[in-house]
Chain A
């Protein structure tokens, strides 16, 4: 007995795909809903990764613009636990460190409050501090003036002030001008400028800045710097950071705190990443649920289409070809869901990033990984139903009406 000529013909890949799409074509709503489950999972994961990447890109852009070479020196505490002060010479000593490109400072004018006018009760200080500022401060920190001008050698001798971004909001001042005056320590100061927010020096946002000389003359300022700002060669920031404390206060280097404000922003990002991990996990759960949905759809599909399976077997389909048909259907369902989810997730990322005014970043690995994951899920979800379909005895399948 020969079996020559009884090798089953291979199906063309196009035909496998076409046969796999039969279930999708005949039951479009069910196909749509089970794909939707996958799509939601993938969309959740892609948008979580996308939004976190966009926020990261925004942070990088911000750090690029602000620079990471800003170091600040502030007095810490003495061994006794009292508030320490910086020595008078600290600014000039710090300026002698080689890689330092610019130095500036502010000094807090203690017990002085700012009011919009003299009708405001004294207790309503709005939490605004008064800082004496060097004229070099604005360029050292790299903050822009939203309205008016920055202090110069002349205006820092006269009762003129530049308000931080939040200070202006709290006082209800929209524009700087010669007629806009605020009451600082009982004296009328002209608002000559309003700053943009300063992400690297948020303490300026809630301050009213006045010139160093006028603070000493009008506001009983003791002339002591409370924060020294330095910009150094970006390649040598670490070395500068190591010596900065000892240089600012050689006698008590332990009483000095040196910090790098850009690190704080980076730390915020790291905190955000932990949250991203959690959301990603939730997305994975959604994807898993979607996969279970596809598996369920496939099991029902096989049950409903027993007669079709019997017919195909009688037409000469091998077990493998029946298996391939249902695997293809499952793969189509989940991959369509994955593609839809990738588009949806990218859309959500783009929308959210646009709303936040961030650059839109959807990492290719997230999209590719998501679609790859759906292929895996599709094969897993389809495997059992496909094997069941292929093991169905043709006569039993045909007996089903």
Chain B
């Protein structure tokens, strides 16, 4: 599903956020990328999520070599195959949970009626069926993150990338969100969670620890070079 080979990302100014990272995550895995701030894990998420291109190295996502795809192709890849969950939820205010999730499918080419139908299903899946007509300000933090997860999974992506999904939540809501992500993985979706919280990382089947743009420890060692 994800195959990085010698991936380097150097930002203008000469800061190397990723310094030769190689990593393979297979379909159906549930992995944590863990490290302190500045370790390059957010850059990793952007590169894996095709939001950013590496300075050097090869990135293959869902069988596609990112370097060979145009910006429009990458957009289509994100629209159909990748779902994002952010720490700050990024929900539109003044818009119901249902429409927030439905708008997540805006770029898939589905009609509005279909988008709403799928959104309603996704909200049922995350247990927010009864609150789908509430607006974000009427929801708790945990509920907001559930809406964001529903938005990420409504298009049934093969890969869900979560950037500090529990970072803005109390421990109870956080646990609920983690359960949801585990359940999602159990249903077959590849889930990668980026976190600086070792407790969360340790609760997952695989941990990839990062420091200064390098992978310092991978619990799935020895690394298998199985094509994605």
Tell me the A residues contacting B by CB distance below 8 Å.
1, 3, 5-12, 14-15, 19, 22, 25-26, 307-308, 310-321, 393-395, 398, 401
- Measured in the bound complex, the distance between the Cα atoms of B93 and A316 in whole Å is 20
Interface string of B60-77 (1 = CB under 8 A from A): 000011001101110111
Q: How many A-B residue pairs have CB under 8 A?
A: 102
Cross-chain pairs A/B with CB under 8 angstroms, 22 sampled: A1-B64, A1-B65, A6-B69, A6-B77, A7-B76, A8-B75, A8-B79, A9-B79, A19-B106, A26-B93, A311-B90, A312-B106, A314-B78, A316-B77, A316-B80, A317-B79, A318-B75, A319-B75, A320-B72, A321-B107, A395-B46, A398-B90
Q: Which of B122-149 contact A (CB under 8 A)?
A: none
Query: Counting CB contacts under 8 A, is B52 at the interface?
Result: yes
Partner-binding segment picked from B29-37, B108-116, B179-187: B108-116
Residues in chain B near residue A6, CB distance under 8 A: 64, 69, 73, 76-77
Minimal beta-carbon separation of B109 from chain A (angstroms): 3
Partner of B107, one of A307, A316, A393, A394: A316
Answer whether A313 and B51 are a contact pair too, CB < 8 Å, given A3-B73, A7-B76, A25-B94: yes
Give chain B nearest CB distance to A215 CB in angstroms: 85
B154-197 near A? 1/0 per residue, CB < 8 Å:
00000000000000000000000000000000000000000000
Interface of A is mostly: helix
**B residues contacting the other copy or chain, number (CB 8 A):** 33
The answer to whether B52 touches A316, judged by C-beta atoms less than 8 angstroms apart, is no
Residue of B nearest to A314 (CB): B84
**Closest A residue, CB atoms, query B151:** A315
Find chain B residues with CB under 8 A from A319 CB: 71-72, 75
Residues of B within 8 A of A395 (CB): 46, 51-52
- Distance in Å from the Cβ of B86 to the closest Cβ of chain A? 7
Contact check, B88 vs A3: say whether CB atoms are below 8 A apart.
no
* B213: Cβ under 8 A from any A Cβ: no
B220, CB-defined interface residue at 8 Å? no
Cβ–Cβ < 8 Å partners of B93 in chain A: 26
Identify the closest chain B residue to A401 (Cβ): B88
Most chain B CB within a 10 A radius of its CB, from A3, A12, A310, A401:
A3
CB distance from B157 to the nearest CB of A (A): 10
* A22 x B80 contact (CB < 8 A): no
Nearest CB on B from A387, distance (A): 14
Closest 6 A/B residue pairs (Cβ) = A316-B79, A9-B109, A316-B107, A318-B75, A394-B51, A6-B73
Q: Which of B88, B94, B104, B107 has the most CB of A within 10 A?
A: B107
6 further contact pairs, Cβ within 8 A, besides A3-B73, A6-B77: A1-B68, A3-B68, A6-B73, A11-B106, A320-B72, A395-B46
Residues of B within 8 A of A (CB): 46, 49, 51-52, 64-65, 68-69, 71-73, 75-80, 84, 86, 88, 90, 92-94, 103-104, 106-109, 111-112, 151
Q: Which residues of A contact B68 (CB under 8 A)?
A: 1, 3
A224 to B90, CA, bound (A): 95
Q: A317 and B88 in contact (CB under 8 A), knowing A3-B64, A3-B68, A394-B51? A: no
A320 neighbours in B (Cβ, 8 Å): 72
In the complex, chain B residues whose CB is within 8 Å of the CB of A321: 75, 107
Residues from chain B with Cβ under 8 Å of A1 in the complex: 64-65, 68
Q: Which of the residues A8, A26, A312, A401 comes within 8 Å of B76, measured between beta carbons?
A: A8
Q: Cα distance A308–B106 when bound, in Å? A: 14
User: B174: shortest Cβ distance to chain A, in Å?
Assistant: 20
Taking the closest CB of chain A, its distance from the CB of B66, in whole angstroms, is 10
- Decide if A10 touches B65 in the complex (CB within 8 Å): no
- Are A15 and B79 in contact, CB atoms less than 8 angstroms apart? no
Distance in angstroms from B158 CB to nearest chain A CB is 12
Chain A residues contacting B88 (CB-CB under 8 Å) are: 307, 401
A392 to B103, CA, bound (A): 21
Asked whether B107 lies within 8 Å of A11 as measured between CB atoms, the reply is yes
A3 to B75, CA, bound (A): 12
Q: How far is the CB of B70 from chain A (nearest CB, A)?
A: 8
Q: With A and B bound together, what is the CA distance between A124 and B88 in angstroms?
A: 89
- In the complex, the chain B residue whose C-beta lies closest to that of A393 is B52
Is there an interface contact between A318 and B46, defined as CB atoms closer than 8 Å? no
A401 vs B88: C-alpha distance when bound (angstroms) = 8
Q: Are A317 and B75 in contact, with the CB atoms below 8 A?
A: yes
User: With A1-B64, A308-B92, A321-B107 known to touch, is A14 a contact of B112 (CB < 8 Å)?
Assistant: yes
Contacts of A19 in B (CB 8 A): 106
Complex: how many Å from CA A295 to CA B46? 32
- In the bound assembly, the distance between CA atoms of A88 and B111 in angstroms comes to 92
Q: Check A315/B94 contact, CB under 8 A, given A9-B107, A14-B112, A321-B107.
A: no
Q: Which residues of A contact B104 (CB under 8 A)?
A: 315
Cα–Cα, bound, A248→B91 (Å): 91
Tell me which residues across on chain B come within 8 A of A9, comparing CB atoms.
Answer: 76, 79, 107-109
Query: Within the complex, what minimum Cβ distance (angstroms) separates B145 from chain A?
Result: 14
Q: Given contacts A1-B64, A321-B107, A398-B86, are A316 and B75 in contact (CB under 8 A)?
A: yes
- With CB as the reference atom, state the residue of chain B lying closest to A390: B71
